[in-house]
Structures are given as C-alpha cells and as structure tokens.
Chain A
C-alpha cells in the first residue's frame, strides 16, 4: 500500500464519519435556570401621561345619499340642544292605466318603520307633510350626492298632519292621511290622461317634505320602501270594487336633512377644556370628537432606540350620559383627518385592518363606559410622515349619516379617573 493510498483511505472514511456526526448533531440547549442573574438589555416603559387634546368639531356637511333609512323626528338634549331631522322624498309613478269609471276615495302616506329610533317615543309625536315645489336633484351638478344641509322650496300649506304614538317595534308602518284636494288633483290628472309617464308625473308633483314638530321627543327611522297610496272605487251595477294606486319613493332622490346644533365648524374645534371638560359626537349632524396627540416625539426623550409596542387611546363616556333613551353603541368609528378636518383615511392597524374604538370596560352600576382605540399605527404614522404633526383622529359614531346618536366624552382634564388618556407601551432595544 502506497503512502498516498494510506492517506487517502482515512480521509475518505473520516469525511464520511464526520459528515454523519455533524448531521447527527444534537443541540438541546434549553436552560431553565439562571434567569436570576440575567440582566436584560430590553427595557419596557409604560406611560399614560402623554398629552392628549380632546376637542369637538363639526363637519360642514355630510353625505346622506344612499342611506338605508330616512330619519324624521326631533329631540332635545341638555348638552347638545335641539336636533331635528326632516325628509325630502321624490316619488315615482309607473302605473297609468286606471279604469275610467274609478272614483277617488282618499290618499295616504304609508311610512314603513325601520327598526331605528332615538330618544323617547312615549309622548305624542307630530309631523306635517308639504309639497315640494322645485325639482329634487343634486345641488352641485358635479357631485352625485345629497348632503344633510340640502333644502328645497315647499308650498307652505301643509297637505297633511299626523299626531301619533310611535311604535316602531310593534307597528310595521305609520299611516298619514293627506288632504283630498291634493289627492284628487293627482288622481284626476292620471284619470284624464294628463299624466301618462313618470316625467309628466314629476312635472306635476316634485316631491314631499315630511317634517316633525320641534316639540317632538324622538327621531324615527323609515324605510325607503315607503309610498303614497291613492284609494279609489270602481262602481259596478251589482258591486263596488275598491282599488289602490301606489306611488313609490324614489330611493336615490330621497334623503334626510338634519338640522345641526352647536356652533363649531370643520376647521375650528372647541377644546374640551372650554366645554365643561367634555367633547361630543353626534351622528347625522357631523359633530365629531377630534384627538390631537401633539408630543408623540416625546418617546424619543427616552434614551436609546426603541419602538412603540402598544398604544391605546382610552375615551370614556361622561358618567350617566348614556341612558336607555340616549343610548350608545359598542363601538366607535375612527378616522385620520388633516388640519382642515378632511378625512385622510380610516384608522387601521399595521395589517391594514380597520381599527375601531371598542368598549373595553363597563360598569353598569356606575354607568362607566370606556372605549379603547388602538393607535400604535397612527402614532408611527405621525412620527414618520412629513406632515405627521398635522394628523389627528376624528371619532365618529357608527351609522354616521343615518342616525342621530350622541356621545358625551370626558376630556383630558376631566376630574375623574375616566378622563381621556393615551396608554403607551414603549420598548428600548438599543441603548
């Protein structure tokens, strides 16, 4: 055997042996002990003292097209004052063949209840119906929206009034009898073939305004399947046949006008410190709570390089402000807005999922309700965006364009443990 062979053999054998050994390597390095003397580099800080400025502002107008319901009603609130919603409805007639022998009986507005209502339905509610005398159409030709502030001219003479006890849960609909002058006029034009198509109908009848009395105590939701019904009779030699003609709401061109309260506007917000340490939210009228976190950069004062681990904005309802009548919901919508109050985006978490304010804790006994809003993504945005210091949060109610729910929130200086605050967890990983 040559030396070369001698050397070659063990190398080949050994390389196999080594590769086997290395690939069989076992590493079981779990050391359950020794944590006592280990000094961790990572430091975690918690603070709830970062400045939060809570204020109230009002969107100049909100889009009320394509809502699921139409709101009619009014209520008074000690804090917000008077809120009123009236509904403009355009109608459409698509059936024009009525027996020439038909005789007009009566006319009624059938309002189908939606299951939404707000405040007190026990007292008697009143509403009046008027004829609109101008075309119900988008005010701005460039936009396909109705706003909560849009109004249309009406004939000041009411064509019907109704006093009633609202039973939106029990009843399917509200029946409002309108006056026969109005009903007979429409009926005759149809019978006389003055109205042969929907355009001719709209020329004759532009629409209805359904307006509550200011003294009403509730806002009621009605479906867009509501309609106008004409009752007539066809006289026969042996028997009289009764018939109806339904004139439906045009769901696109029917909307509610909600009269706002308060004197804030979109670009001027009222600090909670001058509003009895509260801020408000009211859907329908555009009232929102604005949150400014002006000193996020303060986290950089902690020495070292770190990261926001968690950040929750805690907003509590003013004690006893949420009642059975003036009820609140389990979650709040949150948007990111700029310094003009324009919406930049919805608030999301890091994965792009919409983030809501969710009820974190409630105490029924003390009527304590706190919403928790995850804002870590928003704070990172403020720290990284060029105009980050001009970003704010706007807190809305759910159903922002089709309800009139109101929330009274504690401000940052409220004299309670339930004041508005930011709970921030920050970790330093590189000292």
Chain B
C-alpha cells in the first residue's frame, strides 16, 4: 500500500470513530428529534446538498452519489473517490409567544468509492441516519391521585448511524443496477429529571438499536442528456433494547427489550437532464410508506411522507488558466416534504431552499472539489401549540478524487 492510501485508511479510521463517537453528542438541536429515532439526516454527499437534497438520476463519475447504488456502476476506471462532510446548523424556534435559538456544528459523513471492474463499482458511506438533540424544560404533569404536580426536564442526544455498502453494475452503457446494504446502529440517550414536591427522580434511558436494510437502485440514460433513476428501500425493523438507570435515593438499573422501530418501504425516482451545455436540472420524488408500519409515538401517528426535490446546476468547462469564478459550479435547489408525523392533526412539514457552490481544488484532471451548501428551511408551524423551527444549515463537503494505478510516466 502506498502512502496516500495509507493516509486514506488512517483517516477512514479516524473519521469513522469520530462519527460513532459523535452519536453520543447532539447532532441535532430540534425538539422534533424527540420523536421516534430522531430527526432524519438531510445532509448528503458531494454536490447533492445544493440540489434539493436528492439525485436519483445523478451518476457517481465525479463524486459519490450515495442516494442511488446504481450510480456506483458509473465510477470511472482508476478513479478513487472520497467524501468528507461537515455541517453547521442554527435553529430558531418559535411557539407563538417565545422564541429561542441555538447552534450546532458537527461532522456529517464519510464516504469512499472505487471501481471494482470496468463495469462495476463499490463504495462505503457512513452517515448519520437520524440524530437526536433536544432539551425541554419545565414540563408540568399531574401526580395522579393528588393535587400536586411535578416538573420534568428532558435532555436527549445520540442518533442512529447508517453504514452503507453500495454495489453498482453497469448492465449496458445506458443501464446501471445497484444494490445497497445498510447496517443501522446507534444509541439514543435521554435524561429525564423529575422534580417532585419533596424529592427528585432522575431517569437515564439508553436505547440501543440495530438492524439491516436492503435497497435496490436503477439508473437509465434515456437520452444522451437525460437520465432516469429509481431506488427501492425495503422495509425493515430495528431491534432494540433499553436500559433505564434510575436515581432517586438509590441507583437502580433495569434493561428490557423495546418494541422494534419499523422503517417503511421507500420508493424514490428522479430525472436529471443537461441542457444548454453547462446547465443541468434534476427533479426527484420519494415516498415513505409509514402508514404500513402502524407505528405511533406517544403523541402522534406515523403517516406516509412525500418528498420533493428540485435542483439546478451551472458548471462551465474548467480551464487551467480560467478565471476563478468561471471554474466554480453554481447550484440552487428546493426541497419539500410533508413530514411523517402528525401531532394534534397537524403535519410537521419541512421545506428548504438550497444554494451551493463547488470550488475545484486543483487545476488538474481530477474532479476534486470543495462543495459548500447553504440551506434555509422551516419545519412545523406555530399553530395549535406546535413549534415552528427555522434553520440555517451550512454544509461543507470535501469531495476528492485520486487516480489509482496510473504510472507516473503518463503524467
């Protein structure tokens, strides 16, 4: 193994351990991450963050497109792709009369991909699948059987990580097929401090979840400049156990299996078309069939969720001596989803506007690029006692390409 690859391996280990370690810290700062397994991660690799968040029809020949395993069939020979992601988010929360804000910054993904043969490619992505981070104070509850109340402060952190093994195969020049296996694992922690009239009761909950999920992908280049992509993620169950650590006068520990968390069947499809030489447009749709999971949280039910993504990119030819701004890629996107949770007959929907810039890192023949994305989004609403959450999200993806097996004399 030569030196750069050794570095890559070391970095993979460092970032993997970082990501897993980070699940013990708050990766989210949304009160909505109270529900289920937390807030679903909405950050992806490469350029996708500036293009409405999806890219089912986008190939992986310049960067890693983790959304469709079929794209791994399009990795160029001798190309070795890496992607490091980082995000920073600030949330502004409103519930009618009050508002508050917070900021959170963290590592968001690691991915690598390389071709196996001329017709197939393989890749690994490690991303947060969900993230949890909230603190809710002074919840007032009645002590049943008395006129007294007790107050509760709740703090949550953690999340589920998604380690995906992607395999893409180029069936023909136009059709690529993909298979993805997700290993989902993680811990969600909640610390609940109950303040009773004359005593305290602290309950720490550690929920561990793990499971596998299979997914399939297809990409079809319909026309020279237009591609179609589709994915199917099978429903699965994450099994879990939960440990309660109770502290009042004495510390008690209690572990029990908890009911599986079911992930729904997900179907996604999208188009990408290139036009006027430098422009590309993608449109994506995904549906998550939560109804069939028959799950409910303690306040709301899980319901079918629709996602829409729209992205536009301008990328001029890169020239060695070109003007800096001419070499940049410019992106804009829009994303909407109607939420999978219904609280008080209100859906917690979410929409965001994305802007992105791609900065080529070196003037050479690789596609290494620093992708900076900015999103402004809103989640929920102020009506019916719900919270409206506005957020600014900055994502930075370092998408690197190395050329393997190339002899120095060709340079």
Report how far A207 CA is from B256 CA in the complex, Å. Answer: 69
Task: Scan residues 48-102 of chain B and give those whose CB is less than 8 A from a CB of chain A.
Answer: 82, 84, 86, 93-95, 98-100, 102
A345 within 8 A of B: no
A246 within 8 A of B: no
A30 within 8 A of B: yes
Task: Scan residues 127-172 of chain B and give those whose CB is less than 8 A from a CB of chain A.
Answer: 133-141, 143-146, 148, 150, 152, 154-155
Report how far A35 CA is from B135 CA in the complex, Å. Answer: 10
B306 within 8 A of A: no
Report how far A377 CA is from B397 CA in the complex, Å. Answer: 56
Task: Please state if A18 and B196 are interface contacts (CB–CB under 8 Å).
Answer: no
- Residue from B99, B104, B145, B403 within 8 A of A46 (CB atoms): B145
- The chain B residue sitting closest to A310, CB to CB, is B199
- The chain A residue sitting closest to B21, CB to CB, is A22
Task: Scan residues 1-31 of chain B and give those whose CB is less than 8 A from a CB of chain A.
Answer: 2-4, 7-8, 11, 14-15, 18, 22, 25-26, 29, 31
Task: Please state if B18 and A2 are interface contacts (CB–CB under 8 Å).
Answer: no
Task: Please state if A430 and B385 are interface contacts (CB–CB under 8 Å).
Answer: no
A40 within 8 A of B: yes
- Chain A neighbourhood of B224, CB < 8 A: none
A298 within 8 A of B: no
Task: Please state if A15 and B29 are interface contacts (CB–CB under 8 Å).
Answer: no
- Chain A neighbourhood of B364, CB < 8 A: 3, 6
A155 within 8 A of B: no
- Chain B neighbourhood of A307, CB < 8 A: 201, 246, 248, 252
A38 within 8 A of B: yes
Task: Please state if A18 and B84 are interface contacts (CB–CB under 8 Å).
Answer: yes
**Given known A305-B254, A309-B248, A349-B249, contact A30–B137 (CB-CB < 8 A):** yes
Report how far A29 CA is from B102 CA in the complex, Å. Answer: 6
A241 within 8 A of B: no
- Chain B neighbourhood of A10, CB < 8 A: 361-362, 368, 398, 400
Task: Please state if B139 and A40 are interface contacts (CB–CB under 8 Å).
Answer: yes
A327 within 8 A of B: no
Task: Scan residues 275-317 of chain B and give those whose CB is less than 8 A from a CB of chain A.
Answer: 298-299
- Chain A neighbourhood of B387, CB < 8 A: 33-34, 37
- Chain A neighbourhood of B134, CB < 8 A: 29, 31
Task: Please state if B95 and A34 are interface contacts (CB–CB under 8 Å).
Answer: yes
Task: Please state if B250 and A29 are interface contacts (CB–CB under 8 Å).
Answer: no
Closest CB in chain B relative to A4 CB, distance in Å: 5
- Chain A neighbourhood of B2, CB < 8 A: 4
B376 within 8 A of A: no
A363 within 8 A of B: no
- Residue from B104, B150, B201 within 8 A of A27 (CB atoms): B104
Closest CB in chain A relative to B132 CB, distance in Å: 10
Closest CB in chain A relative to B361 CB, distance in Å: 6
Task: Please state if B8 and A37 are interface contacts (CB–CB under 8 Å).
Answer: no
- Residue from A31, A38, A43, A350 within 8 A of B100 (CB atoms): A31
B contacts, CB < 8 Å to A: 2-4, 7-8, 11, 14-15, 18, 22, 25-26, 29, 31, 34, 82, 84, 86, 93-95, 98-100, 102-107, 133-141, 143-146, 148, 150, 152, 154-155, 192, 194, 196, 198-199, 201, 203, 242, 244, 246, 248-250, 252, 254, 256, 298-299, 343-344, 361-362, 364, 366, 368, 385-387, 398, 400, 402-403, 406, 408, 411
Given contacts A305-B244, A377-B250, 5 further A-B contacts (CB under 8 A): A8-B7, A11-B7, A305-B254, A307-B246, A310-B199
Complex A-B: 5 CB contacts under 8 Å: A4-B402, A11-B400, A28-B29, A28-B102, A34-B95
